[in-house]
Every structure is written in structure tokens, then in C-alpha cells.
Amino acid sequence: MVAPALAGPLRAVCIADRALLAAGERAVVTAVTDAPSGADVQISWSADGGAVVPTGRPGGALWSPPAQSRGVFVIRAHIHVGAAEAGETADCSARVAVIESPNRGGGEALISTRALVLPAAHEASGYGLYSYVLFAHPPTDQETQLFDAILKAYLTLLPSQETLESRFPDEFPPARLNVTYVPIRRAPPDDFDQREPDDRIAWIRNHYDYDRAFAFLTRLRGLPDADPSLRSGAAWIVSCQHPLGGKEDPRPGFQQNLSAVPPRLIPQRIGIFASQTTQPRDYNPYSIALLELDLRIAIAQAGDGLEAVSAAIKKLGGAQ
């Protein structure tokens, strides 16, 4: 039997299930590639601290941080596809921050970006990438479950930029990070962070700024070479190098249409997005294009089909 051939240079993406751990917790890291189905894939793992043990899941490993150590750790995968003396290789890594406790105190979990932006407010300056959770209109009865799943994943899966920046300023400077915004019509109540998760989700949904979201989508639709798919769909995550609320051209960027994603798969999709966009990067047009490709590879391997990977590779064919 002849092993499937690669269509081009091997690419790999490492995905950590969480970018922020409390002391004593462990992270699951998965290495995925654009190797064809049936290819012989061998992965070796290493880390700059702690222990990495492969799991029974393809491409998966369990990382345990070193005892009594706090800081940012890098977990690496070296992937070889094909015969031992030939084939293609690729490397990827994931960074995980370990802190004493994921709480500020009083039960306020440090697991949300808390990047809620008011109508009169502007996005913070200095970030490498700006992302937005955009709903095109209030949810219909059929869309409420999807919108709530997106907001729940937003509140529970995206690590706090504030925590990463304040505790690990050298590893997570804003210029190398993504910040994700949700537009709202009014400031949240003082007890917002102490409320039950379902109450916070309902509050954001009921006070979501659909007018501003529509304005953001309208601006994106009016850009030269705008993606035609932006003219339809109800739920998006869009990412740009510059703020959508500013005067500067927000490009380059990319978008993810979540409108047709089953609500049960939303945590997986946003988990992949969170894992990749919380890894420090030097953001520029080429690195943003590669980030889009990394996301497409991970999503395709998670079950959305390899057509997205092929399309992304073709789209990036002229990038230098």
C-alpha cells in the first residue's frame, strides 16, 4: 500500500485546551497537521518544564507543570510524516501560563477577557490583533441557543488578557496578543462578575449593542476585496490588525462565520480560536495570514472537512 502523498510542505498547529492554569491543574495539548488521512504520523513531545505524556487520542499529550513553579511554559511537538529516512517534518508549540489561583478573590474567575466595549468607548490601543464577537441582528427563536453558546464560550474559554499582561509582561506584551471585544449598550452592573454564568450570558444578550455590531460589519463589507460571505450570516468572530472603531484601515484580517455551527460544537471552535490567538505572535500581514491558516487546519482536523485547509493554502500561495 502506498502512503498518501503530501500536497505541499507539512504544516502543524499545537492547541492547548487552556492557556491559563491554576497550580496543580494540567493541560491537554493536541498537535494537528494537514497530512492526508492514512499518513504515518509520528510525534515526539518536549517542554521547558514539567512532564509531557502522550495520550491515547491521536496527536494528544497531557502536560503536567513542575511542582511549585509558576510562570509561562512552552510545550513543543516535533511531527514526522512518512518513512523514517524521508518524509516531511514540522514543529509547533503551545504556551501555557501557570498561576497560583485563577481567582482574583471573592470568586471572580479570571477566565474572561472582560473586553466589553460601550458605545461611547474606544478599543484599547497597542494590541497586535483585534477580534470581535459580532451578531448581525437580535436572535430569532432558532438562533438564541447558538448566540448563548457563543457568549458562554467567550466568558469561559478566553483567558484574561489582564492577567497575562500583569503577571507575565515579558511573555505576553499587548503588541503580541489578541484582544476580543463584545459591544454592549450600557456598563455591566457592579455585581456582574459574581452572578451565575447563565445570568451573565442573559445580561450580555439583552444589552448587546446590535447597532454597533451592524456598523462594524458594514465597515468590513465596504472594504476593497471584502469577503462576500460577510453579507449573510447571523454570528461572526472577525479579527483585524487595527481596531474597527478607529480611522485606520483595519486590514489585514479574517473572519469566522459561526452561523451554521451547531451550538454543541461552539466550545470546540472558540477553544481553538482562544488557543491560537493567546500564543504571542509578532503580528504583521504575513503572520496574520498564517494564523488564519493555522485556525483552518485545526478546525478542519476537528471535523469541518479538509476543503477549508486546501482553500486556505491556495489563498496563501503568493504570501512571502
Coil/strand/helix, residue 139:
coil
Q: Is residue 188 part of a domain?
A: yes
Assess whether 25 and 126 both reside in one domain. Answer: no
DSSP-derived secondary structure for 28-95 = EEEEEE-PPTT--EEEEEEESSSEEEE-SSTTEEEEEPPTT--EEEEEEEEEEES-TTSSEEEEEEEE
- Please state which of the ranges 39-48, 141-150, 165-174, 193-202 shows the lowest mean pLDDT: 165-174
Assess whether 149 and 81 both reside in one domain. Answer: no
Q: Is residue 145 part of a domain?
A: yes
Q: In sequence order, which residues have a C-beta less than 8 Å from that of residue 235 and are 6 or more positions away? A: 133, 134, 135, 136, 143, 146, 147, 150, 257, 258, 259
Q: Which residue has the higher pLDDT, 320 or 27?
A: 27
pLDDT digits (tens, 9 = 90+) for 239-269: 999 999 999 999 999 999 999 999 998 988 8
Angle at 278 between CA 168 and CA 39, to 5 degrees: 130
Strand pairing category for 71-81 and 88-99:
antiparallel
Assess whether 240 and 93 both reside in one domain. Answer: no
Assess whether 56 and 176 both reside in one domain. Answer: no
- Give the pLDDT score at 310: 45
Check: CB of residue 298 under 8 Å from CB of residue 285: no
State how many domains the chain has. 2
Q: Is residue 1 part of a domain?
A: no
pTM of the shown model: 0.78
- Give the pLDDT score at 107: 38
Q: Is residue 111 part of a domain?
A: no
Assess whether 51 and 124 both reside in one domain. Answer: no
Q: Look at residues 228, 145, 134 and name the one whose alpha carbon lies nearest to residue 181.
A: 134
Domain edge (last residue) among 99, 124, 148: 99
Q: In sequence order, which residues have a C-beta less than 8 Å from that of residue 67 and are 6 or more positions away? A: none
Assess whether 126 and 224 both reside in one domain. Answer: yes
Q: Would you say residue 1 has pLDDT above 50?
A: no
Give the Cα separation of 101 and 96 in Å (integer).
Answer: 14
| Domain span including residue 196 | 116-283
Assess whether 159 and 219 both reside in one domain. Answer: yes
Distance linking the first and last C-alpha atoms of the chain: 36
Assess whether 88 and 128 both reside in one domain. Answer: no
Q: Would you say residue 114 has pLDDT above 80?
A: no
The mean predicted confidence, pLDDT, of the chain is 83
Assess whether 243 and 190 both reside in one domain. Answer: yes
Q: The domain that contains 199 carries what CATH number?
A: 3.40.30
